Structure 1
């Protein structure tokens, strides 16, 4: 930090952002569990197992992005979320929702 740059008071913004990432992670977890449950209730078919495996992979991908972001928010001056990270999170969330919806219907 330079002498001209004032100390940053982040307030509660980083904590709110971490909580938002945790809520989204919880939502993705519920979608993945419901997808697995749907496959188990109907009996394992090859397409159901493949869709469930895809849901779990997307869930793991989202967990990786969310964990990186939550760790980055612990810094005194957290770096911005990269465009690549934002796109990865958005695509994982959307694809997971579509896969889970396809399994539930």
Structure 2
């Protein structure tokens, strides 16, 4: 096999010959799905805790909507806001942990 045959035919400046863009898009979709599952499970657990539970359920839904809004451009193949998406995901993760702690403390009383 000659060196000319081993190079991809579609190689050009700025062209992604692999599937990196699609893998990234699918990874962001999985992230949104995972956060959605956490939000639904948090809301389901919160339903039985009265007013505190309702507040936690609303906050969980807002957290999921925030993650969805930040990751939607990336999961649809467009460029998102660079440098802002990962801190929002980290903040949402810490927020869900705080909501879980709030639910546990509310159920102790």
Q: Same fold (TM over 0.5)?
A: yes
Q: Which residue of 1 aligns with 2:65?
A: 60
Hey, what's the Cα distance between the residues in 2 that align with 1:27 and 1:101?
Answer: 19
Q: What is the CA distance between 1:55 and its match in structure 2? A: 0.7
Q: What is the CA distance between 1:18 and its match in structure 2? A: 1.1
Hey, what's the Cα distance between the residues in 2 that align with 1:50 and 1:80?
Answer: 30
TM-score by length of 2: 0.69
Higher relative contact order (CA 8 A, sep 6+): 1
Output the aligned Cα RMSD: 2.4
Deviations along 1:3-59, whole A, 9 cap, x unmatched?
Answer: xx824124110111111111111111111111111122x2x5111111111111000
Hey, what's the Cα distance between the residues in 1 that align with 2:35 and 2:101?
Answer: 12
TM-score by length of 1: 0.72
Gaps of 5+ in 2: 1-11
Q: Which residue of 1 aligns with 2:18?
A: 11
Gaps of 5+ in 1: none
In our comparison, the structure showing a higher alpha carbon Rg is 2
Count of residues paired in the alignment: 94
- The list of structure 1 runs, each at least 4 consecutive aligned residues, that deviate by more than 4 angstroms after superposition, is none
> Are residues 49 and 23 of structure 1, via their aligned partners in 2, closer, same or farther at CA, if it must alter by over 3 Å?
same
> Are residues 12 and 31 of structure 1, via their aligned partners in 2, closer, same or farther at CA, if it must alter by over 3 Å?
same
> Are residues 80 and 48 of structure 1, via their aligned partners in 2, closer, same or farther at CA, if it must alter by over 3 Å?
closer
> Are the counterparts in 2 of residues 48 and 103 from structure 1 also a CA contact under 8 Å?
yes
Hey, what's the Cα distance between the residues in 2 that align with 1:14 and 1:37?
Answer: 35
